[in-house]
A and B are shown apart, each in its own frame.
Chain A
Amino acid sequence: TRPRPRRDSIQCYKMDASPCGHCLIINNVEFDPRSELSNRTGSNIDCDKLERRFKALNFIVEVKANLKQRQIKHQLSALSKKDHSQFDCCVVIMLSHGTEVSHSRFPGAVYGVDGQHIPVQYITNYLNGQHCPSLQGKPKLFFIQACGGGEKDTGFEVSPDEVEPSFGGEDDQTDAIPMSSSSDSLSMSDEPDARATLPTPSDILVSYSTFPGYVSWRDTQSGSWYVETLDRILEESASINDLVTMLMMVNHEVSQNSAKGLYKQMPGSFNFLRKLLYFQTQA
């Protein structure tokens, strides 16, 4: 059978494939004592909620627990090598400790249970148009509940005098057009000084429980503020609202919630989607 043509409307991503796509959840709870990272009690509650939620949204959900950095990379690589041509979307959820890593677009990093971290920009790169052609033009969503982040890491800082901009062809968009710069690393290796350049990422959305470098709160009994709020808002309004609107609602609620307490938490959305995204819900 010939694959039917994808039909995005002008405004919305096509999201009617059944199942809609893959959803990989990486749930890191128990950390190697040598990593000096505490166990993430309550994370299983988050994980179960999101597994149920994305199954309800018609995704093929796969949960992986307690992965080392190398195993995280392996899972992402395996996901990128799958054939997504029958699907409309792909979701990656990371539940772990996190830390601060600089990047102009996707800052932050998440830890494997061995205490080695992987920068978010690498995580997103696994599924970009170049590494995963069958997801080209389709929305790729990343939800990151990363706790901690008290420590500083400037290993990936791009110092401005290293920047050698490379200019692509002129085009006639009506927007200020980003030029590639060396802060976009295409490298899949651990070379912090890779010099490959990337065009603007498109069709990628990264939702962080908190801006990298800030604390993200998790209740050992009820899970994390962010996941709890995200799950509830998806449940209540995925049938009527698009994803970006719902993330705005999540931000509002989480920041209200934290404003009542002693500490603040502001989720962050780094959104390079080109259209509105409505999940499938059983009407």
Chain B
Amino acid sequence: QHANTHVSMGSYEERLDSFAGVQHPIDPERLARAGFYSTGTGDRVLCFCCGGGLKGWQPEEDPWEEHAKHYPGCRFLLEEKGQEFVNNVQLQDPQR
């Protein structure tokens, strides 16, 4: 099952639509804004730009921070949030 094959998910609306009918601990709007779309399996999401995937979400987590923590090289992330944001997330105390 490759639900994400041949979808670009470049637009916020497309990404938001992917969460239709998905129970997710995080607000889909926040996930979609941070570049993520649902794979349709559990809470698993992928970034449309870097292809980075995340699962096992905790309700208190921030999608942008998690994006920056695990995929700091993502272009969409750097364009949207800037280098300083990425550095600040990367140079927090290790809580990995």
Contacts and interface: CB of A to CB of B under 8 A. Distances in A.
Given A175-B56, A179-B44, A248-B91, A165 B39 contact: yes
Interface in A263-280: 266-276
A106 B94 contact: no
A160 B44 CA distance: 15
A55 interface: no
A258 B39 CA distance: 42
Given A175-B58, A176-B54, A268 B71 contact: no
Interface residues of A, number: 50
Contacts of B96: 175, 202, 272, 274
A127 B49 CA distance: 27
Given A176-B57, A178-B71, A276 B50 contact: no
- Chain B interface residue bracket vs A: 35 or more
Contact of B91 (A179, A212, A251, A255): A251
B15 to A, nearest CB: 11
Interface in A173-211: 173-183, 200, 202, 211
Contacts of A177: 54-56
B52 A160 contact: no
A211 B5 contact: no
Interface of B: 2, 4-9, 39, 41, 44, 46-58, 61, 66, 70-75, 78, 83-84, 86-87, 90-96
